[in-house]
């Protein structure tokens, strides 16, 4: 079955919130609903959400990221449900997020990836993301900040 990627509205938040931990949930609601500083993109098959990603133009949490990449929007909480992986849905979510940000006038986008998440890191790098900050200390070990120019594909 084909999937499509849509900008989600508030009613789409509920299924995602159920999968998030408390802090992520608060941040998500704040950025997406209260502050209008981000969007949730959902990949849907029929009525079912099979994947999602958040784009945000709120300042990055880390001071070192804000210093090196001021005003650069970020993508986070990318996920595709296990049975639907390796069909291009993650790539589709990333490309849709990029074109959304390009449409808002942004020239670059950043994404953070844990160094132990080899699969995700390989995917991002294959899609044109390049190391900007390497080995930042995180709660799940070191992570890297990758950046992509939002020029023509």
By CB under 6 A, name the binding residues for ligand COA.
Answer: 78-80, 85-91, 113, 117, 119-120, 122-123, 126
CB of 119 to ligand COA, least distance (A): 5
Q: Cα 2 to the chain's mean position, in Å?
A: 21
Length of the chain: 153
**Measured from the CB atom, is 88 or 105 closer to ligand COA?**
88
Three-state SS at 95: helix
The CA distance from 119 to 112, in Å, is 13
C-alpha distances in Å from residue 83, one per residue of 63, 125, 128: 37, 23, 26
CB of 89 to ligand COA, least distance (A): 4
Q: Which two tokens stand for residue 62?
A: 């880390």
CB of 40 to ligand COA, least distance (A): 15
**Measured from the CB atom, is 10 or 130 closer to ligand COA?**
130
Report which residue's Cβ sits closest to ligand COA: 90
């Amino acid at each position: 079955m084909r999937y499509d990627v849509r900008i989600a509205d508030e009613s789409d938040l509920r299924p995602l919130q159920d999968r998030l931990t408390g802090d992520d949930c608060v941040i998500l609601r704040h950025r997406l609903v209260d502050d209008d500083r981000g969007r949730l993109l959902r990949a849907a098959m029929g009525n079912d959400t099979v994947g999602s990603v958040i784009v945000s133009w709120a300042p990055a949490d880390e001071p070192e990221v804000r210093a090196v990449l001021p005003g650069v929007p970020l993508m986070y909480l990318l996920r595709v449900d296990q049975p639907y992986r390796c069909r291009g849905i993650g790539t589709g979510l990333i490309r849709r997020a990029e074109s959304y940000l390009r449409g808002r006038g942004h020239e670059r986008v950043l994404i953070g990836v844990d160094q132990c998440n080899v699969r995700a890191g390989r995917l991002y790098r294959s899609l044109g993301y390049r190391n900007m900050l390497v080995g930042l200390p995180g709660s799940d070990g070191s992570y890297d900040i990758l950046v992509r120019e939002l020029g023509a594909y």
